[in-house]
Amino acid sequence: MKRKYPRNYERNEKYLERLYELACKLTSIPAVSGREDMGMQQLAELCAGYFDNYEITPVGSFIGRINCGKEGAKTLLLDAHFDEIGFMVTEICDGGFLKVVNVGGIDPRILSASEVLIHGKITIQGIFTSKPPHLQEEGESSKPMKLENLAIDTCYTKQQLEEIVKIGTPVSFRSTVERLQGDYIVGKSFDDRICISAILRALELLKGKDLPVNIAVQFSGGEEIGYKGATTSSYRIAPDYAVVLDVTNAYVPEAPIYRKGIKTGGGGSISYSAQTNRPLTEKAVAIAKENNIPYQLFAEPNKTGTNSNAVQTSRGGIPTVLISIPLKNMHTANEIVTLSDVLEVSRLVSEFALSFQGGEINVG
């Protein structure tokens, strides 16, 4: 299908296919916030080849480093969070049902009759219950839905279930990545795995180039429950500058008017905020312009709701830029992004890294 691409968008099937492949691999790894260890091995196997060395922190972050080999070189940190929203088992009930609490922000409206994976001794499937109409009270459908009124049906007996699941067992959404029209794709946990894809793709673009800075990458844990991984791994890395990559809510019908500035297909959204560094942000915007990379601007003065503040306030302060990939249906099993935005963000990140001539820039 033909569609209009943003200014200067270079459509390259091979690159888009590569990003799609990365998205599929990355979103298939389970890592509910606080239990990132469940998928860390898989993540490390997928990413190790990109780095000179890597380590895994006690707070669920993966850190990889690429040294540029230049004396006195500065270090640029690239951050995307590895954890995903999900649930935790609180009760194993008669009939093989599980009661759960949310880990991170979950909309109870999308759960009824949806599918999940329960990561117990073995991984099993589950389905969120939906109350049949004959059990609903008059007027119930106009009342708010609550997670506590739902349960997960495992289709095992309680006895069988007790062998597999314990209180505290993590649960994740179950969903596959699928292509939609144009370059749009749908899947779970694009928040924030799609940004991990963008970083890996950026590193592929940088391969063989003469790097002016050392690059440190953190795929941080615990973002959805208070930026825990980013806080601790930025401290450990002690970078000089940072780029945080996350997703942002794109405009959809009924969203606040100011969201109209953020569209899927318009490129990465660069944030102005007290939680990011303005001179470094201006530099990112300038680099996008110079390289004809489409971008959008977003203003979120106080809080960005991302790792940017945790990174920026690490140690004695680290100038930080926030670039976001526009996304629809955030925190559901069917998040939607367009690969063209992911591609443009990966280009912007690689050009940004290459722009540190002499390793230093003036960030005011």
Partner 1 sequence: MLDRLKNYCNCISPSGCEDEIRELIINDIKDYTTSYEVDRMGNLIAFKKGKKTPTKKILLSAHMDEIGFMMKYISDEGYIYFDIIGGIDPRVIGGRRISIGKNKTTGIIASKAIHLQKANEKGICVPIEEMYIDIGCTDRISCEKVISVGDYATFQPNFEALGDNFIKSKALDDRFGCALLVEIMQKELEYDTYFAFPICEEVGTDGAKEIAYNFRPDIVIVIEATTAGDIVDAPKARHACDLRSGAVISHMDGGTIYDKQLVEFVKKTAEENKIKYQIKNVIAGGNEASAYQKGASGARVIAISAPTRYIHSASNVVYNDDLFEIKELVSALLERGFENA
Of 12 and 125, which CB lies nearer to partner 1 in the complex structure? 125
Residues 96, 222, 267, 294: which binds partner 1 (CB under 8 A)? 96
CB 126 within 8 A of CB 117: yes
**Cα–Cα distances in Å, from 278 out to 105, 271, 272?**
29, 9, 7
Our finding on whether 129 is near partner 1 (CB under 8 A) is yes
Helix axes 339-354, 190-206, angle to 10 degrees: 50
Our finding on whether 302 is near partner 1 (CB under 8 A) is no
206 to 235, contacts with partner 1 by CB under 8 A? Answer: none
Our finding on whether 6 is near partner 1 (CB under 8 A) is no
Spatial separation of the C-alpha atoms in residues 301 and 145, rounded to whole Å: 32
Our finding on whether 357 is near partner 1 (CB under 8 A) is no
Pick left, alpha or beta for residue 119 (phi over 0 → left; psi -120 to 50 → alpha; otherwise beta).
Answer: beta
Stretch that binds partner 1, among 152-160, 192-200, 268-276, 283-291 (CB under 8 A): 152-160
Our finding on whether 145 is near partner 1 (CB under 8 A) is yes
180 to 199, contacts with partner 1 by CB under 8 A? Answer: 180-186
The nearest distance, CB 121 to partner 1, in angstroms, is 15
**Cα–Cα distances in Å, from 119 out to 83, 123, 252?**
15, 4, 33
- DSSP SS3 for 194: helix
Stretch that binds partner 1, among 18-26, 35-43, 173-181, 282-290 (CB under 8 A): 173-181
Our finding on whether 135 is near partner 1 (CB under 8 A) is yes
Residues 232, 306, 312, 329: which binds partner 1 (CB under 8 A)? 329
The nearest distance, CB 120 to partner 1, in angstroms, is 13
Our finding on whether 254 is near partner 1 (CB under 8 A) is yes
The tokens describing 27, both together, are 């979103």
| HEC assignment per residue over 276-345 | CCHHHHHHHHHHHHHCCCCEEEEECCCCCCCCHHHHHCCCCCCCEEEEEEEEECCCCCCEEEEHHHHHHH
CB 327 within 8 A of CB 248: yes
Residues 252, 279, 297, 303: which binds partner 1 (CB under 8 A)? 252
305 to 324, contacts with partner 1 by CB under 8 A? Answer: 305
27 to 86, contacts with partner 1 by CB under 8 A? Answer: none
Residues 48, 155, 167, 238: which binds partner 1 (CB under 8 A)? 155
**Cα–Cα distances in Å, from 181 out to 6, 184, 257, 327?**
16, 6, 26, 15
Spatial separation of the C-alpha atoms in residues 99 and 119, rounded to whole Å: 14
Residues 71, 146, 208, 302: which binds partner 1 (CB under 8 A)? 146
Of 142 and 362, which CB lies nearer to partner 1 in the complex structure? 142
Q: How many residues of this chain bind partner 1 (CB under 8 A)?
A: 71
Name, in order, each residue with C-beta under 8 angstroms of 291's C-beta and a sequence gap of 6 or more: 347, 348, 351
Residues 73, 206, 217, 333: which binds partner 1 (CB under 8 A)? 333
Q: Which residue matches tokens 């969070």? A: 81
Stretch that binds partner 1, among 15-23, 147-155, 208-216, 310-318 (CB under 8 A): 147-155
The nearest distance, CB 164 to partner 1, in angstroms, is 10
Of 152 and 323, which CB lies nearer to partner 1 in the complex structure? 152
The tokens describing 46, both together, are 């997928």
Our finding on whether 355 is near partner 1 (CB under 8 A) is no
